Amino acid sequence: IMEKSKSIAINFGIGVGILTLTSLLGIYYLKKSKVVRKRRTCVKLTNGKELIEKYDAFVFDCDGVVWSGGKAIPGAIEALGKLKSLNKKLFFFTNSAASTREHYLEKFLRLGADVTSEQIHSSATCAATYLAENGFKNKKIYTIGEKGLHEELKRVGLNPVGLEDNQYYGISPEKISSITIDPEIAAVVVGFDRNISYYKISYAAMCIRYSPNVLFLATNLDLTFPVHDRLVPGNGGIVEAISMGAGRGPDVIAGKPNPTGLNLILSLSGIDKKKVLMTGDRLDTDIEFGNNAGVDTMLVLSGCCKESDGISAKPFQSPSYI
């Protein structure tokens, strides 16, 4: 949310200037006319309450919007509670594929948010759904990623392998070049992996390069993600390393900005797109995700982006609101 001249104070103690998820609550109580950025066009609201009343469902990114690291963004949990009290439908979509829905649910509950597992979606659940619906059940999937990604793939009847490769470090290129590629590998799935190694990158790349029918699926291409006051490397670098070794990029990107996940949420909720607002802290994932799915979007400034980033965004990454 932008004001023509001076900063505005948002209720619920969020302070002045930095707008986070509590922007949703603040605009509910503002009485004066404010200027809100609407797809490169400033729309003047006669009543801030209209923005809350306009939408029946809100989809939120998690990292940088609801929490940062292990701590809630100031005011975020209160905002979710207020929206729930107004009978709004709430959904959450994280591009992280490192954990299961149950893990994320535990985190929400620990931070004080009253949500259910059915409200939580991730690039891991989208990857699993895509593979299960496209003939990969019971087939071997070479999977780079955390245990949570492996569990989500198993949940829908897939056969992920590769977790045991965490043990291989310091293997020479000569030895790797002589490794036999499993001919039963039908797909390579690449998610964020804290145990990434030269062996894993090499084996995944060789599966793709030397087995032309192997599907290459990336859970997301996030270059970074916010932890406390810093940005740390994300899955995008891992995918790029494998792509360079394989000689081609992913066939499928399961997470944002691919609109598949949001379209799934829309289908499950049965809500008109015009009544849905996607909220996130990244232009190249969250905002583009919402724009690709045809819903309104709001950029919050509690994560990766500054207000100037939203104002100068490319048309396909331009938020409806800041």
Return the pLDDT at 70: 87
**pTM for this model (two decimals):** 0.79
Distance, CA of 310 to CA of 297 (rounded, Å)? 11
Return the pLDDT at 166: 77
pLDDT in tens, the chain (322 residues): 444 444 433 333 333 333 444 444 443 333 333 334 444 453 433 444 667 889 999 999 998 899 988 899 999 999 999 999 999 999 999 999 999 999 999 999 999 999 999 999 999 999 999 999 999 999 999 999 999 999 999 999 999 999 888 778 788 888 888 889 999 999 999 999 999 999 999 999 999 999 989 999 999 998 888 777 788 899 999 999 999 999 999 999 999 999 988 998 888 788 899 999 999 999 999 999 999 999 999 999 888 888 888 888 999 999 988 8
Residue 301: C-alpha distances to residues 1, 89, 157, 313 (Å):
10, 23, 39, 14
Return the pLDDT at 155: 94
Distance, CA of 319 to CA of 322 (rounded, Å)? 7
Return the pLDDT at 41: 55
SS3 19: coil
Residue 1: C-alpha distances to residues 141, 185, 221, 237 (Å):
44, 49, 28, 32
DSSP string over 58-90 = EEE-SBTTTEETTEEPTTHHHHHHHHHHTT-EE
Distance, CA of 281 to CA of 288 (rounded, Å)? 11
Contact indicator for 224, 187 with CB cutoff of 8 Å: no
Return the pLDDT at 36: 43
Strands 71-72 and 67-68: antiparallel
Strands 185-190 and 140-144: parallel
Q: Which of 56, 61, 63, 222 is flagged as catalytic? A: 56
The DSSP code for 275 is: G
Tell me whether residue 56 is one of the annotated catalytic residues: yes
